[in-house]
Structure 1
Amino acid sequence: MSFSGTQGTQGTQGTQGTQGTQGTQGTQGTQGTQGTQGAGGSAGPYLSLALATTRDGISRQWTGVGGRAIDNATPGGWDAFRKMQDGPQAAVLDYELGCLAGLDISTAQKGIVKARAAGGADAVILTRPVYDQAFVDAQMSLIRSYADLRMDRLAEIQVQTGDIVSFFGGLGYLDRVATKRSLELIWAVLRMVGQMEMRLKMHFDFPRPIQTSSDVQPVIQTPGHGSWPSGHATEAFAVAQVFSALQAGGPVDALDAVTARSHPMRLAARIATNRTIAGVHYPSDSMAGAVLGLGIGEMVINWLSGQAETPVRQFNGTGFVDDFSLETLEGILPSAGMVSFVDPPSPVLSNLWQVAKDEWVR
């Protein structure tokens, strides 16, 4: 995986520096040990030697002819996917989801998520704030107020630098065996939005709060990339959207879920706000991330479930100096139109969605 190398160094960066890649964590353990994992435990040179001597001791005379019949009349597809290890499965899902959307960053102040499966139509549109004194004064005042909550939220802040999925596991049953496909879908979406958010951060190159004033003094290491949009907000709201659909057994309108103040949306908002409390993000970052995450998460689920179209979500950060909240998000989120899908998802993705939904039927 493209992010595997950064996973190993997360701890030395304060972990939040590559939070955008956290979707790979669920499979990282198996990716790192593929080829060295024995059927009964950890492998190594000693096990290889033992296997070699065992073969010498029990093998019969063999001419090199295979003796088992293998039915491979219809190779590929879902059956082939199911037999793959976690790492290769993740690579397949990343490729398949990559067919859904891409980025248009040809304009300096804008970042647009293009729905490839909808003929390249605009699906999420973000416009960068102007980094001026009015923005700094308003947003830094909010960061100063939020700093009073640091001791109350410190445990959450620390854990969430590298893990947000466990918190959604507190809202509904998530288990590596019982809900295997649900977690695979969640992690795949996290990896997808992680790549997009990082490219947008590079594109917008927005200064972090600590670059504005040494009085911020964050309680965690400030990540080494741009502030806008917030990666944690993007990922938390993308997971909230997917999680909501899994619980409902089908697509959930993002605006409806935000308006209802559903548990997944309340959790996502808290995760996003914790980054402002920590001193590493402006509230504006969280608003942009929330719109981005909801828009992508909604598009993924609508596509996988066979919906004909998906809403366009947008946020113009120009002049936005308000606090981040679900109430404010509710006013920003209404659809700016609809885009129609022209290309269906692959059979692997369609099957993954169906099996993941079935895991929630009890």
Structure 2
Amino acid sequence: MSIPSVIQTQAGLWGQAGLWGQAGLWGQAGLWGQAGLWGQVGATGPSNPSALADPALSLSVAAMRDELLLASAQGRMPAPRTPGGLFGQGVGPRAQSLLVELLGGLRVLAHEQGQGIRLQFRDAAEGARWQTLLSLQAPEPGYLQAQLRLVDADLPLRDSRAVEIHAQCQGALAYLLTVSGQALQERPRSAEFLSAALALQQALQMRCKQMLAVPRPSHLAPRLLPCIDVPAHHSFPSGHGGESYLVAALLSRWLARIGDSGGVGAMLHQAAHRIARNRVVAGVHFPVDSIAGRLLGAVVEHHLLALAGAGDSPRAQLPGPGGWGEPEAGVPSDVRSGSDHGAQPWYEPLCGWQLVADPLEPAPDLQALWRAACAEWPEST
């Protein structure tokens, strides 16, 4: 089976949306557009062509039909087999179906007190209680004004990073896959799981952006003159920050199964950190946007693992109990510090984090896909 086109092509699951591109989610290059997973360059498009897409071949098969049927009469035909469950459909229909399961039982609400939102899920306890996975508060205008100085301080990096900044607008995933040193063409279920995780991340972050409505740095300070197009959605949380963290975290988990003791995982998280910082260098994000995006990515990762029966549910806050503090505290930690503190967003001073063993509604399709993905990374002995 060929690898899903979210990994195989730069068009990917989102087409040119979010971290992996520039056009809208449902635009011509978006999720269901001409270059998306289900579009002309998607899982069912030319990158995975059907032989009968060739008109000449199709007519030739039709011309042979009577002759073939006569030959088939000489023997018994196998009984038709239609496998059920998640893997009874092709890659594209599976992804569409799975997204419904992932979004089920989730909601994003405005916080009753102030400028914030709550991402919640409904547990499987008696009475089906709503539990808060993530509480996000929009930074105050004065805090953003102070962070503009940090954006200004990063502008000199544009000269040395301009090429990668532009390249990461179109295909940042390729950077992380290259760092991992693994060929996901040989691990199609893992590629599908990444696609599903990114689909959920993108949907949730866009909802958070809309509800929190934090302006872009260049909207507050036109002097920044961003070196790339300013996206047509709000700034907080950062999509690049969240999606790159999510991919790095999942790849790191799988690499640990085959013997990586953290070396490649640290490189993946540093690459994700650099991708997020490049958006600050470009002038389209505040540093604190990256912390929020990475925290949302961690919430999505742990929520998916909990649904798959491989972990506990997260409880996350930004800001945490200590409040926003100084603007410099809103800069993501660098992985090169040599500890996990730079890799994991819950160690950031601004964040609150804990894991809870919640009763969850079964997610059978996600569980099946997670088991199939992990089977592609056999544990080293």
- Does TM, scored on the shorter chain, surpass 0.5? yes
Q: Distance in 1 between matches of 2:123 and 2:162?
A: 41
Q: Distance in 1 between matches of 2:289 and 2:104?
A: 27
Q: Distance in 1 between matches of 2:245 and 2:110?
A: 22
Q: How does 1:141-220 map to 2 (within 5 A)?
A: 141-220=149-228
In structure 2, the residue matched to 1:302 is: 306
Q: How does 1:238-253 map to 2 (within 5 A)?
A: 238-249=246-257
Q: Is the 8 A contact 2:15 2:21 kept in 1?
A: no
Secondary structure in structure 2 of the residue aligned to 1:177:
helix
Alpha-carbon offset, residue 320 of structure 1: 5.5
* Closer/same/farther in 2, CA of residues 100 and 268 from structure 1, 3 Å limit: farther
Q: Is the 8 A contact 2:15 2:31 kept in 1?
A: no
Q: Return 337-346 or 272-281, whichever deviates more.
A: 337-346
In structure 1, the residue matched to 2:337 is: none
Deviations 1:103-137 (Å, cap 9, x if unpaired)? 223546112221334642111111111123x531x
Q: Distance in 1 between matches of 2:374 and 2:30?
A: 23
Deviations 1:229-250 (Å, cap 9, x if unpaired)? 1111111112222222222249
In structure 1, the residue matched to 2:61 is: 51
1:326 lines up with 2:326 in the alignment = no
1:226 lines up with 2:247 in the alignment = no
Letter of the 1:209 counterpart? P
Alpha-carbon offset, residue 45 of structure 1: 4.0
Letter of the 1:112 counterpart? R
Q: Is the 8 A contact 2:255 2:265 kept in 1?
A: no
1:123 lines up with 2:133 in the alignment = yes
| Alignment gaps of 5+ in structure 2 | 1-10, 335-341
Q: Distance in 1 between matches of 2:265 and 2:373?
A: 24
In structure 2, the residue matched to 1:101 is: 106
Q: Is the 8 A contact 1:273 1:324 kept in 2?
A: no
Q: Is the 8 A contact 1:124 1:292 kept in 2?
A: yes
1:85 lines up with 2:95 in the alignment = no
Q: Distance in 2 between matches of 1:271 and 1:171?
A: 13
Secondary structure in structure 1 of the residue aligned to 2:93:
helix
| Alignment gaps of 5+ in structure 1 | 251-256
Q: Is the 8 A contact 1:17 1:224 kept in 2?
A: no
In structure 1, the residue matched to 2:243 is: 235
* Closer/same/farther in 2, CA of residues 161 and 277 from structure 1, 3 Å limit: same
Q: Return 176-185 or 314-323, whichever deviates more.
A: 314-323
Q: Is the 8 A contact 1:146 1:277 kept in 2?
A: yes
Deviations 1:314-338 (Å, cap 9, x if unpaired)? 1127556225222685233765444
* Closer/same/farther in 2, CA of residues 206 and 17 from structure 1, 3 Å limit: farther
Alpha-carbon offset, residue 271 of structure 1: 1.1
Letter of the 1:324 counterpart? V
Alpha-carbon offset, residue 5 of structure 1: 12
Aligned residue pairs total 337
Secondary structure in structure 1 of the residue aligned to 2:214:
coil
Q: Return 99-108 or 229-238, whichever deviates more.
A: 99-108
Secondary structure in structure 2 of the residue aligned to 1:169:
helix
Larger relative contact order, structure 1 or 2 (CA cutoff 8 Å, min sep 6): 1
Q: Return 225-234 or 22-31, whichever deviates more.
A: 22-31
Q: Distance in 1 between matches of 2:79 and 2:285?
A: 59
Q: Is the 8 A contact 2:15 2:37 kept in 1?
A: no
Q: Distance in 2 between matches of 1:340 and 1:216?
A: 45
Q: How does 1:17-36 map to 2 (within 5 A)?
A: 18=24, 27-28=37-38, 29-31=41-43, 33=45
Letter of the 2:130 counterpart? G
* Closer/same/farther in 2, CA of residues 161 and 19 from structure 1, 3 Å limit: farther
Q: Distance in 1 between matches of 2:240 and 2:135?
A: 18
Secondary structure in structure 2 of the residue aligned to 1:300:
helix
- Among 242, 256, 263, the alignment partner of 2:267 is 263
Normalised to the residue count of structure 2, the TM-score between the two structures is 0.76
Letter of the 1:214 counterpart? P
Q: Return 166-175 or 215-224, whichever deviates more.
A: 166-175
Letter of the 2:133 counterpart? A
Q: Is the 8 A contact 1:129 1:319 kept in 2?
A: no
Percentage of identical aligned residues: 28
Secondary structure in structure 1 of the residue aligned to 2:348:
helix
Letter of the 1:342 counterpart? P
In structure 2, the residue matched to 1:38 is: 50
In structure 2, the residue matched to 1:311 is: 314
Q: How does 1:341-352 map to 2 (within 5 A)?
A: 341-352=358-369
Q: Distance in 2 between matches of 1:104 and 1:147?
A: 36
Letter of the 1:33 counterpart? G
Q: Is the 8 A contact 1:26 1:187 kept in 2?
A: no
* Closer/same/farther in 2, CA of residues 6 and 235 from structure 1, 3 Å limit: closer
Letter of the 1:301 counterpart? L
Letter of the 1:313 counterpart? A
Letter of the 2:357 counterpart? S
1:110 lines up with 2:116 in the alignment = yes
Letter of the 1:355 counterpart? A
Q: Distance in 2 between matches of 1:60 and 1:228?
A: 66
